[in-house]
């Protein structure tokens, strides 16, 4: 399992986090991961009406801002929300964001 | 006293607010207004090392996103943070942002 280059906790900046969140599709991804789940990008993509190339861009923006942690396993990428890192850097902020987001529609 | 076109409370969207906040200079303006003060743009500009044209752009982004309310009096513009509107639309969110911001340096 290899990992992508992504910022350490201390490298995460508030402006970059705000920028990464300022997009409807990226907010939808964050809402999907809000409960702490680790999810494959392909699994998230299924529930969203966005072209895969655009989705790849959104995952990169979220990863580079430090909002998500991405791992590669074989041909799949998995993402989780960096809740602990974000709570340590910006106490209370992410919770304040998540409460604004609708519950994601998830397949039963 | 005339007023600029700016969104009503119900027209404020979370994505636009996040976008407006995702800039160091705009965060600095918001921090300056955090205590509820009504401030002239020229007064805010004095404390910031940003070109006036760029500052005008920042005020417009904040205003159009619904973060600030702007009034024109004579040749001066005054801004306030739309705290009540933002709290009504996105409960707890703005407080979560403001706690991340440094106290602005203010002339004594």
Decide if B26 contacts A18 (C-beta within 8 A): no
* B 17-46 → A contacts, CB under 8 A: 18-19, 21-24, 27
* Whole-complex ipTM: 0.90
- Residue B102's pLDDT is 80
- Using a CB-CB cut-off of 8 Å, the residues of chain A touching B100 are 14, 90, 93
Report the topology of domain A9-101.
Answer: Arc Repressor Mutant, subunit A (1.10.10)
Q: DSSP string spanning A81-94?
A: E-HHHHHHHSTTHH
- Residue B105's pLDDT is 56
- Residue A102's pLDDT is 80
- Using a CB-CB cut-off of 8 Å, the residues of chain A touching B95 are 96
Lowest-confidence region among A9-18, A43-52, A54-63, B12-21: A43-52
- pLDDT over threshold 80, residue A1: no
Beta bridge mates, B80: B69
CA distance B64 to chain A (A): 15
* A 73-102 → B contacts, CB under 8 A: 90-93, 95-97, 99-100
Overall size of chain B counted in residues: 108
Q: Is A57 on the interface with B (CB under 8 A)?
A: no
Angle subtended by helix axes B24-33 and B52-65, to nearest 10: 70
Please state the domain extents for chain A: 9-101
Residue of A17, A65, A100, A102 to mutate when probing chain B, most B C-beta within 10 A: A100
- Residue B72's pLDDT is 93
Residue (of B48, B50, B68, B46) closest to B59 by Cα position: B68
Q: What is the DSSP letter of B101?
A: S
Nearest CA in chain A to B65: A22
Kindly report, residue by residue over B68-86, the tens digit of the pLDDT. 999 999 999 999 999 999 9
Please state, in angstroms and rounded to a whole number, the distance separating the CA atoms of residues A35 and A47.
17
Q: What are the backbone dihedrals phi and psi of residue B8, each rounded to the nearest 5 degrees, phi first?
A: -70, 170
- pLDDT over threshold 80, residue A2: no
Contact B22 A27 (CB under 8 A): no
Q: Whole-model pTM above 0.95?
A: no
Q: What is the DSSP letter of B13?
A: -
Overall size of chain A counted in residues: 108
Average pLDDT rounded to a whole number, residues A41-57: 93
């Amino acid at each position: 399992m290899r990992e992508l280059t992504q910022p350490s906790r201390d490298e995460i900046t508030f402006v970059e986090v705000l920028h990464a969140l300022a997009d409807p599709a990226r907010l939808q991804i964050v809402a999907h991961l809000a409960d702490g789940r680790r999810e494959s990008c392909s699994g998230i993509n299924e529930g969203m009406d966005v072209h895969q190339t655009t989705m790849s861009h959104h995952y990169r923006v979220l990863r580079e801002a430090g909002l998500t942690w991405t791992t590669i396993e074989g041909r799949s990428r998995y993402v989780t929300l960096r809740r602990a890192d974000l709570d340590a850097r910006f106490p209370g902020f992410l919770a304040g964001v998540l409460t604004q987001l609708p519950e994601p529609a998830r397949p039963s």
